[in-house]
């Protein structure tokens, strides 16, 4: 509560100091300026927001005043107001709020304290068990996810090998014309972080390589068809593809003659490297 307001107020010129004693109201009202909402009022570290001006703490004549009724409302003090009667002046009795355990039998108090400690220990044990179960559950989930990933990866590797077998039997993909001559192509497929293709052209002579260097359109077309067929499998559609074409077979020291690649499904790139 921090504002800058002040009001004229009739303020008693006494302050309650001795808690537990009876105070006799016998002061003459004196008009002073009372400043409200100029400081934050906290009880046990908690700010109190009081909208009723009759309950708000205030500053007057450089002193801070807190209405006793406010202390009563906040459970800080017990307050009893006795009006004047039979010639006797009004009286205000103020006493501290007693602890709920005040006057409790020591044995009973010890029993409750022991129960509270036991409950706290049980709670700590349960929390430890929950943490253990949570950790075990996470471990099982991680192992399951890893197993699924490994299983999926193995399945895709087998699929890639099976696909290579299909290509090796496909007359549209396992043949290429170079300079008027037809040559067999054999494939090896490998699947990992990318889809790797090794294509081997058997029986090329130096003259064939020269012709291939001058005109690689037929080889380019076949490799483009290879990528298109691979992309028909949705598991490989968004995977990077790398194709290396060799002169020879996979069983000897083959020479690379062409290099192709595809990224993000944007079509095949590359060509003869002779």
The whole-number pLDDT of residue 153 equals: 74
Residue 114 lies in a domain: no
Per-residue pLDDT reduced to its tens digit, 151-190: 477 788 888 888 888 888 888 888 899 988 999 999 999 9
* Domain residue limits at 267: 166-272
Sign of CA dihedral 29, 33, 39, 40: positive
Q: Name every residue whose Cβ is closer than 8 Å to that of residue 3 and which is 6 or more positions away in sequence.
A: 36, 37, 38
Residues in the chain predicted with pLDDT less than 50, given as ranges, are 1-25, 151
Domain boundary residue, one of 39, 65, 96: 96
Q: What angle do the packed helices 106-169 and 217-231 form, to 10 degrees?
A: 140
pTM greater than the 0.95 cutoff: no
The whole-number pLDDT of residue 100 equals: 55
Residue 59 lies in a domain: yes
Residue 102 lies in a domain: no
Residue 154 lies in a domain: no
The whole-number pLDDT of residue 258 equals: 94
The whole-number pLDDT of residue 22 equals: 46
In angstroms, the CA 85 to CA 79 distance is 19
Q: Name every residue whose Cβ is closer than 8 Å to that of residue 195 and which is 6 or more positions away in sequence.
A: 160, 189, 230, 236, 239, 240, 241, 242
Domain boundary residue, one of 96, 116, 148: 96
The whole-number pLDDT of residue 17 equals: 36
The whole-number pLDDT of residue 44 equals: 80
Q: Which two tokens stand for residue 119?
A: 């409950």
Picking from 273, 268, 261, the residue whose alpha carbon sits closest to that of residue 209 is 273
Give φ, ψ of 70 to 5 degrees. Answer: -65, -40
Instruction: Determine the length of the chain.
Output: 274
The whole-number pLDDT of residue 260 equals: 95
106-122 burial, b for 16+ CB within 10 Å, e for fewer? Answer: eeeeeeeeeeeeeeeee
Q: What is the CATH number of the domain that holds 230?
A: 3.30.300
**103 SS3 class:** coil
CB atoms near residue 93 (< 10 Å):
13
Residue 110 lies in a domain: no
Domain boundary residue, one of 69, 96, 123: 96
Picking from 274, 120, 250, 262, the residue whose alpha carbon sits closest to that of residue 187 is 250
Q: How many independent structural domains does the chain possess?
A: 2
**206 contacts 194 by C-beta, under 8 angstroms:** no
């Amino acid at each position: 509560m921090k504002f800058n307001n002040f009001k004229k107020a009739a303020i008693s010129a006494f302050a309650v100091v001795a808690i537990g004693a009876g105070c006799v109201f016998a002061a003459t009202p004196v008009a002073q300026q009372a400043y409200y909402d100029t400081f934050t009022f906290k009880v046990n570290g908690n700010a109190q927001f009081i909208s009723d001006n009759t309950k708000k703490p205030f500053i007057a004549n450089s002193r801070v005043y807190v209405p006793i009724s406010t202390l009563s409302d906040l459970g800080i003090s017990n307050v009893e107001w006795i009006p004047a009667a039979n010639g006797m002046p009004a009286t205000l009795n103020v006493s501290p709020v007693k602890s709920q355990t005040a006057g409790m039998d020591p044995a009973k108090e010890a029993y409750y304290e022991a129960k509270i400690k036991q409950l706290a220990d049980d709670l700590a044990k349960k929390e430890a068990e929950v943490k253990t179960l949570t950790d075990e559950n996470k471990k099982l989930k991680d192992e399951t996810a890893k197993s699924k990933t490994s299983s999926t990866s193995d399945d895709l590797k087998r699929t890639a090998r099976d696909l290579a077998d299909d290509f090796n039997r496909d007359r549209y993909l396992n043949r290429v014309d170079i300079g008027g001559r037809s040559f067999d192509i054999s494939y090896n497929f490998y699947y990992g972080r990318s889809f790797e293709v090794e294509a081997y052209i058997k029986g090329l002579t130096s003259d064939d390589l020269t012709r291939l260097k001058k005109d690689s359109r037929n080889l380019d077309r076949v490799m483009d068809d290879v990528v298109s067929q691979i992309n028909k499998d949705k598991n490989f559609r968004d995977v990077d593809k790398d194709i290396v074409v060799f002169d020879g077979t996979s069983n000897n020291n083959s020479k690379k003659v062409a290099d192709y690649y595809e990224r993000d499904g944007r079509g095949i790139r590359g060509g003869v490297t002779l």
